[in-house]
Amino acid sequence: MTYAVDSFDTLPRLPSWVTSRRAETSETVAFLSGAALSHLHLVVERPDVPQSLLRERLALRAAEACVMRSGRSERAGELRDAVGFLQPGDTPGPAGEVYFNWRRAAERPVSVKTLHRALPTVSREQIAVWLDAGQGDPVGRSSAVLETVLAETPRAEATAQILADATLAQALGWNHLVPLLSARLKRGDLRKRGEDLRLSCHRSLIATSAEATLLAADLARRSARLKTVAPKLRAKGAGVALELFLSRDAVAPAALTSPGPGADMSDRAARRFCDRLVELGVVRELTGRDSFRIYGL
């Protein structure tokens, strides 16, 4: 199969009237939210979009928003560091744990089992009960789950938002959780209830659906460009390494040195391979550091 570098141009674009129109009434907000989600549904079905990578990058945004609302200072770079250099037995810290949970929730098909893996301190039975808390349309169900979890466990804001997005994905018939709600919700929104909370969720989804569509187009372009250079790469394990870049938000060279999911390269070869991809213009170094570097599309 061949991949055109400009294939992202064929992605459906969100009509400007969805994001430019000022929503004055609850009916208008719900209509625009539905239009945005319907459009995004086409995007998450596209084979030319690296879906795993899209979900990971949206998970990073969701985690950063959760951490900011909690009053912590960590931002995307620190969250990447907290997770990217974990060794067996290490803990990522409170902020890193939030990102770790979002990633785990989005990397496998959405289910009670997947969510328990992402939220091990919450029992499977409790997760199942919370997922059934909402009724009606997808956003109504999602906001009801968000409200229910926060009412019972007010400090579990990240857990509530993960379960709300899981409910939304299930209601829309998506196989995986796509992190959407959290990125645009405000701290005050999480204290709302009923119709006020639903309106905040609708407004958040209008914005995040537009952002996710733009991100998907960018990642489709970058992934197509990466695939065009694949024949030029002769390093051992190059194919496996490229798959890691197409599925992960960020890759440390150490991730390429292990057998199995890694490319089984030497430390030196892994660093040289990552720098070669930067030279070819298909991968970026994300930290700006001279050491402990992390790379990604």
pLDDT digits 0-9 by tens, 16-46: 888 876 667 899 999 999 999 999 999 999 9
Identity at 88, one-letter amino acid code: P
3-class secondary structure, 259: coil
Strands (E), the chain: 284-285, 295-296
Q: Residue 295's CB: how many other CB atoms inside 10 A?
A: 25
Helix ranges (DSSP H) in 137-237: 138-152, 157-172, 194-229
Q: Is the pLDDT of residue 234 over 90?
A: no
What 3-state class would DSSP assign to 251? strand
CA-derived radius of gyration, the chain: 20
Integer Cα distance of 129 and 199 in angstroms:
24
Listed in sequence order, the residues at least 6 apart from 289 whose beta carbon sits closer than 8 Å to its beta carbon are none
Residues 6+ apart with CB under 8 A from 167: 131, 134, 138, 141, 142, 145
Instruction: Return the pLDDT at 236.
Output: 82
Q: Give CA 133 to chain center in angstroms.
A: 24
Write phi, then psi, for 89 (nearest 5 degrees): 90, -10
CATH topology of domain 233-296: Arc Repressor Mutant, subunit A (1.10.10)
Model confidence pLDDT, tens digit, residues 41-91: 999 999 999 999 999 999 999 999 999 999 999 999 999 999 988 877 788
User: Domain residue spans in the chain?
Assistant: 7-219, 233-296
Q: What is the mean pLDDT of residues 145-160?
A: 97
Q: What is the pLDDT of residue 8?
A: 46
Structural contact between residues 296 and 249, judged by C-beta atoms closer than 8 angstroms: yes
Collapsed DSSP state (helix, strand, coil) of residue 25:
coil
Amino acid letter, 230: A
97 closest CA partner among 125, 71, 121, 124: 121
Local confidence band at 103 (pLDDT 50, 70, 90 cut-offs): very high
- Give this prediction's pTM: 0.93
